[in-house]
Chain A
Amino acid sequence: MKKFAHGIYEGGVSAIQSIFAHSFRSALTTLGIIIGVSAVIAVVSIMEGLGATVGKQLQDLGSEMVTLKAHTSTEKEMLGMTSKISYEDYLYLKNKTDNVQYMAAKVKAFSLGSDIQFAQKSITTQIIGTESEYKNVVNVYPASGRFLTETDDLKRRRVVFLGSSLVEKLGLKADPVGEFVTLYGEWFRVIGVAEEKGSLFGFDQDNYVIAPLSTIESISGQRGNLGVDIVFVPDVNVAQSAVIEQMTQLMRYKYKINDPADDFFEFETAEKTRKQFSDITDSITFVAAGVVGISLLVGGIGIMNIMLVSVTERTREIGIAKALGATSTIILIQFLVEACVLALFGGGVGIVVGYIFALFILMVMPVAAAVLVPLWAIWLALGFSFTIGVVFGIMPAIKASRLDPIDALRYD
């Protein structure tokens, strides 16, 4: 065992000497591994960074928030039908459920267009018609002015609450409360501006306009006919799933649905969104891992190729080493260690290059707040590189160790 350790040490010293003796070739050899590892590190670190950012933002959004929205089955969609949850359903649920802390209906008025104008400027935005309680459901707070009140809704006031980025986009003054903007050709008075939320996946989350639901409905001319989404937060001591179950039963009862497959509505929770998101990132990571697997294989073959060339080239050197007392085991270890050091070197450089690459991507496309290289990815990359070194280095190493010293010494 001591002899073996000595062999590894001496093999390692020889290996490092010979790697530096051919430094340019060594660098080229490891290029395959560098590319493979840097690709995996870049993808993983961006995905992890994205995950952390999204997780935090979902938290901010209120992890307890549930959205009930209409769901159209593919079958119905093909028949040209669209499901819809009405304002009346909202009132019905609000009446029948008592385990809900906050609840609001909102309408996204796509059909009416989604432009907001001020002076000569027109900006495409997201127009949300809702009620005063909405602010409690989604945690949106005014940075200046105020949010909608019940009176705004009752009186169908033409007032808007702006997302923070619109102030600049429209060229409004810093505190635009009291200014007038145009929606659907009508004047609306700005009553407040929201606190900034930042961007998610590179999408501006502060580009929205909130107006009273009743006002939007009356402008649309479809009073009572517009489909709504219902957002709510369950009571603190009540399980989210229990409330969802209760609402499901109420809706099924109201519409006499016996088969759950006929449900024309669905619930979205932060958990579900997070799950959907992690499904996406997982599959991206999976695909990346496949690509990386292939490139590591190519890198490994590159190392094997160079090691075979190197064994042939250094046949005489191996002969001298054997004449001076190197055993076959020492030669084997030397070449194996050399392959592993090359591969590990490639892995190490790959990690750094991948990290820099990820930072660069983030600079060009700010999809996440930060790049995150998890420790497991580093260990995985190094472990993989090492394995590649052993797997692809063993064949040339065996070839070298089996050389006959007399033939090897005679080799030119």
Chain B
Amino acid sequence: MTQQPLLELRGITKSYSMGEQKFLALKGIDLTIMPNEFIAITGPSGSGKSTLMNILGCLAKADSGSYRLAGNLIADADEDALAGYRNQSIGFIFQSFNLFPKLTVLDNVIYPLRFQRGRAAHRKSRAIKALKDVGLADKLANLPNQLSGGQRQRVAIARALVTNPDILLGDEPTGNLDSKTSAEIMALFRDLHANGQTIILVTHEQEIAEQCQRELRLVDGQIVKDETKNTAEQHALGVAS
């Protein structure tokens, strides 16, 4: 099967200037991600995994190298085009949920659709469907602070999914959750993956990484480990948890 890569990074570098000193966060990353992969990016703090996630999520641009996302060259994109990719190609999930506290669950999920064309009724039905998919169809009118942590993260996942993004990009998505809820959220990710969704999770928890199909380990701005588990092992893990 000759599939086009969904994501292709070649020689990506990124540096930050901290006062006088220049700090090289990514030292030439080469990475190819195919559709329907389930990937964990791990590494100690300061390894560059957040920087890599920001670049993957089109929140920041690399200093050099090329990044191709679903066939689009991101390096050439301007601010507004980046916003467009973030809106249509990426679904962000954050550690601290990052829901709008004053908006209802439904309005939170509709939010990214507001930057796309479409009728209000159509947006609403898409949002309701996304909320159904994460099992929150009965909480439409609630405010985020009326929900538990796990429920909030489900709303955030629904919001990320509502635009049918190419990639779900999670930044420590279980970091603020207890182990039971965390397992539920991971199960949800596995379901989504089983339905064909490409998922990238950034995490420092080895336990989470082990539930993914492929693990990329970053140290000092370089990929030191790129390991794809065999499917049987994966399957066994999924059943176990």
Chain A residues with a Cβ under 8 A of chain B = 6, 10, 13, 17-18, 21, 316-317, 319-330, 405-406, 409
Contact = CB atoms under 8 A, between A and B. Distances in A.
Contacts of B54: 406
Contacts of B117: 6
Given A17-B103, A21-B102, A324 B87 contact: yes
Given A17-B102, A325-B112, 17 more contacts: A17-B103, A317-B100, A321-B111, A323-B92, A324-B86, A324-B87, A324-B111, A324-B115, A325-B84, A325-B86, A325-B88, A325-B115, A326-B115, A328-B79, A330-B115, A406-B54, A409-B98
Contacts of B79: 327-328
B178 interface: no
Contacts of A320: 98, 100
Interface residues of B, number: 25
Nearest to B57: A323
A298 B85 CA distance: 42
B102 A323 contact: no
A16 to B, nearest CB: 12
Contacts of A321: 111
Contacts of B100: 317, 320
Nearest to B98: A320
Interface class of chain B by DSSP: helix
24 contacts: A6-B117, A10-B114, A10-B115, A13-B114, A18-B102, A317-B100, A320-B98, A320-B100, A322-B59, A322-B83, A324-B86, A324-B92, A324-B111, A325-B84, A325-B87, A325-B115, A325-B163, A327-B83, A328-B80, A405-B59, A406-B59, A406-B60, A409-B59, A409-B94
B214 interface: no
Interface string B77-119: 0011001101110001010001010110001000110110100
Contacts of A328: 79-80, 83
Nearest to A321: B111
B159 A324 contact: yes
A317 B108 CA distance: 12
B98 A316 contact: yes
Contacts of B60: 406
Contacts of B87: 324-325
A76 B59 CA distance: 86
Given A322-B86, A405-B59, A327 B80 contact: yes
A405 B82 CA distance: 11
Nearest to A331: B83
Contacts of B159: 324
Nearest to B162: A324
Nearest to B81: A327
